[in-house]
Amino acid sequence: MGKTLQSYLINLCYLLLLTVTAHAQTIPLWGRWEHTFRVSTTAAPETDFVVELTSPSGKVFTVAGFWDGGVTWRVRFMPVEAGTWLYRTGYPFSPGHFESSITYRDGLTALPWQG
């Protein structure tokens, strides 16, 4: 592989990594994660739309999304573990991720029990 092509591929990987990182959200533990999906054509409101979420420990949750009018679909979820959550749907959407922190919605931080 030529040095020019190799350099191009490395730069492309960095750019993709920065793009994914820039779009990552941080959601408080037990907070509400909401994601909007837009399609190119309007689908019938009774169309099934599900999102599969994988927790940091590997547990898989299947969440029903909902039609929000026109070409907009949404999904809402409350993370039950801190860490990186992965999500995916069927075609045409790309998989993604978000972070869940142990800072609660009101700004209080959870501390481990010391009994």
Our count of domains for the chain comes to 1
Tens-of-pLDDT digits for all 115 residues of the chain? 566 655 444 433 333 332 333 356 899 988 999 999 998 888 787 888 899 999 999 999 999 999 998 889 999 999 999 999 999 987 667 788 889 887 655 555 555 555 5
In terms of residue numbers, what domain contains 78? 25-101
> Per the domain annotation, does 83 fall within a domain?
yes
Burial 52-73 (b: 16+ CB within 10 A, else e): ebbbeeeeeeeeebebeeeeeb
> Per the domain annotation, does 107 fall within a domain?
no
> Per the domain annotation, does 17 fall within a domain?
no
> Per the domain annotation, does 53 fall within a domain?
yes
Q: What is the CATH number of the domain that holds 44?
A: 2.60.40.10
pTM over 0.85: no
